[in-house]
Amino acid sequence: MLMAMTAAKPTFPAPDHDHDRCTADAMSHAEGVCAKRAQKFTPIRRRVLQALLSSHRPLGAYEVIDELAKSMPRPAPITVYRALDFLMDNSLVHRIESRNAYLACAHDHDTAAMVAFLICEHCGSVGEIPAAPVAQSLNAAARSSGFTPKLSVVEITGTCAHCQGAR
């Protein structure tokens, strides 16, 4: 799984990467996922995902609304939250718990995949890496203390390689 998530897409895209190509690839991935699962990729779901793809930073729901309001009538929050729920249910978006924000995902994994989010404190970009061994260890430690874990989210803050190189 590590190779599938890192070989096709770098953890942090280069600042000068072709973002239009990146966005087009992510939209194509989303269309394929929805078609494969017989899910409707409605116009509002598409627009919400496009708003999230506008950068590699997580956006809060109201930031998504603000982004959408630039090109369409301002949608109701419930409409955006429903679209975000759909996108999360189909592994096209992740929720970054510590930021109360959402991040588009173009990796080919299901909702049960254990991932870690690498959050750059300088540029705000978020990278995604496989984290099954870490999450399994944490869940095992929790279970050994009599706790039944429901969800494991690993978020690590620091500095991405691009920001380190810019210093």
Question: β-pairing, 126-130 with 101-104?
Answer: unpaired
38: domain CATH number? 1.10.10.10
Q: Which residue is listed with tokens 């409605």?
A: 42
Residue 6 has pLDDT above 70, yes or no: no
Average pLDDT score over the chain: 88
Q: pLDDT category, 1, cuts 50, 70, 90?
A: very low
Start-to-end Cα distance in the chain? 32
Tell me the residue range of the domain where 130 lies: 2-166
Specify the number of domains making up the chain.
1
The pTM score is 0.83
Note the pLDDT of residue 7. 43
Q: Quickly count: other Cβ atoms within 10 Å of residue 2's Cβ.
A: 10
**Region of residue 38 (left: phi > 0; alpha: psi -120 to 50; beta: else):** left
